[in-house]
Amino acid sequence: MQGRKDVMDDIYHYFKTNTAPVIWFHCASLGEFEQGRPVLEALRVMYTRHKILVTFFSPSGYEVRKNYKQADFICYLPMDSPLNARRFIKVVRPTLVIFVKYEFWFYYLKAIRKRNIPLLLVSGIFRESQTFFKKYGGFYRRMLRYFTHLFVQTPEALRLLHSIGINNASVSGDTRFDRVLATAQNFEPVPLIEAFCAGRKVVVAGSTWTEDDEELDHFVTNHPDMRFIIAPHDISEERLKECERLYKHTIRYSQLSTAHGTAGINTLIIDNIGMLSRLYKYATICYVGGAFGGDGIHNILEPAVFAKPVLFGPVHDKFPEAGAMVEAGGAYSVENALELEKTLNGLLSNEQLYAQSCAASLQYIQHHAGATGKVIQYIQENRLLTN
């Protein structure tokens, strides 16, 4: 609410004198931004005279990426209302609008459609349990019809759309695969992390919630010779102190550079946002949080691209890549702390199993890349943008 307080005025002051065509990307949060980023950066290179506007719903997206250099203007999306939507579209005058994965704001979509502005959904994912596919879901189905085209991740999502008469859709795959490949190809070392790991076996646990840390802490305590890097999803002071209580022998990343050594310490707590995707490079095995009672499993593609086995909790039915990676042999879903420890010990003690899991992770990523190219091809073939 605070972030949106003066946002309409800020938008007006920036765009009132703008004469360049505008490409507008909307992302719910940081994960969706990273998902849409390959498309954004491809369009940035191809359509140089266009301005790029990025809007966020969530502070966890806006606060981390508000200074992102590839966009010309970044802000919160004003609350969805008839007046806000009309004013926003009138002031910004977008040439092309791209929503990433989800978030369907009725008045914005209606205003975009009324002005015949091309509107795309990128990396969409749909499940049968969603309101779109219920008898009472007419209002929500109407929103889907406002889109010029919907690019979805899976054939099942496309089948669901067809079942309700939405045919302006196609399977492109997930642009996150392209994003993580770009991250790996442009990897920037983190010297402090390298020094902390010091040739030891390392478990990197990313985006953890309390429930994840409670499953991990016993294994961490009983393996003092290993190194553990814990990156909690929430880095509030309260949450960081909770991690320190659970893991005992810890140091925070912000203290690492001034510490006089790490004797007796085997666990590094990451107290910043933005470096996690690089940390997975230093892991022997990766753990991804959110599937033991968080808000859903976080990004398992980020560690997989570095050819690492990936572990996570049992609640991941809304994330098709999790089941697919388990089936491929690159990932492991565990039900509890005992199963987690058994899986970790198995991978650490069996070189052949470990090597197979590493290879399966990377192959899965490589096999599913290319969604960005399909979106760009559609934009070009349908002449949605011109230079």
**Cα–Cα nearest to 348, from 332, 368, 370:** 332
Residue 1 inside a domain? The answer is no
Enumerate residues 6+ apart whose C-beta is below 8 A from 12.
91
Tell whether 217 and 295 lie within a shared domain.
Answer: yes
Q: What is the pLDDT of residues 229-244, one digit of tens each?
A: 999 999 999 999 999 9
Residue 181 inside a domain? The answer is no
Tell whether 91 and 213 lie within a shared domain.
Answer: no
Tell whether 277 and 305 lie within a shared domain.
Answer: yes
Half-sphere exposure (CA, 13 Å, Cβ side) for 336? 1
**Averaged confidence pLDDT in the chain:** 95
Q: What is the pLDDT of residues 183-211, one digit of tens each?
A: 999 999 999 999 999 899 999 999 999 99
**What are residue 56's DSSP bridge partners?**
27, 76
End-to-end Cα separation, the chain, in angstroms: 37
Residue 165 inside a domain? The answer is yes
Residue 247 inside a domain? The answer is yes
pLDDT exceeds 90 at position 71: yes
Q: Which domain holds residue 143?
A: 7-175+370-381
With bands split at pLDDT 50, 70 and 90, how would you rate the model's confidence at 259?
Answer: low
With bands split at pLDDT 50, 70 and 90, how would you rate the model's confidence at 218?
Answer: very high
> Which CATH number belongs to the domain containing residue 299 in this structure?
3.40.50.2000
**Cα–Cα nearest to 207, from 216, 199, 219, 196:** 216
Phi-psi region of 74 (alpha: psi -120 to 50; beta: other; left: phi over 0): beta
The amino acid at residue 104 is F
Tell whether 293 and 310 lie within a shared domain.
Answer: yes
pLDDT exceeds 90 at position 296: no
Tell whether 168 and 228 lie within a shared domain.
Answer: no
Tell whether 151 and 211 lie within a shared domain.
Answer: no
Span of 45-49, 255-259, 328-332, 366-370 with lowest mean pLDDT: 255-259
Tell whether 193 and 134 lie within a shared domain.
Answer: no
**What global pTM score does this model have?**
0.89
pLDDT exceeding 70 applies to what percent of the chain?
A: 99
- R_g (Cα) of the chain, nearest Å: 22
What are 146's two structure tokens? 């406002």
In angstroms, the CA 84 to CA 57 distance is 14
Residue 2 inside a domain? The answer is no
Tell whether 242 and 161 lie within a shared domain.
Answer: no
pLDDT exceeds 70 at position 342: yes
Tell whether 166 and 276 lie within a shared domain.
Answer: no
> Which CATH number belongs to the domain containing residue 162 in this structure?
3.40.50.11720
Tell whether 135 and 18 lie within a shared domain.
Answer: yes
pLDDT exceeds 60 at position 258: no
With bands split at pLDDT 50, 70 and 90, how would you rate the model's confidence at 32?
Answer: very high
Q: What is the pLDDT of residues 77-92, one digit of tens each?
A: 999 999 999 999 999 9
| Long-range contacts (CB closer than 8 Å, 24 or more residues apart) made by 105-108 | 105/77, 105/80, 106/80, 106/139, 106/143, 107/80, 107/81, 107/82, 108/26, 108/77, 108/80
Q: Work out the average pLDDT over 4-10.
A: 92
Residue 203 inside a domain? The answer is yes
Residue 108 inside a domain? The answer is yes
Domain count, the chain: 2
Tell whether 57 and 193 lie within a shared domain.
Answer: no
Predicted confidence at residue 79, as pLDDT, reads 95
Residue 183 inside a domain? The answer is no
Tell whether 280 and 263 lie within a shared domain.
Answer: yes
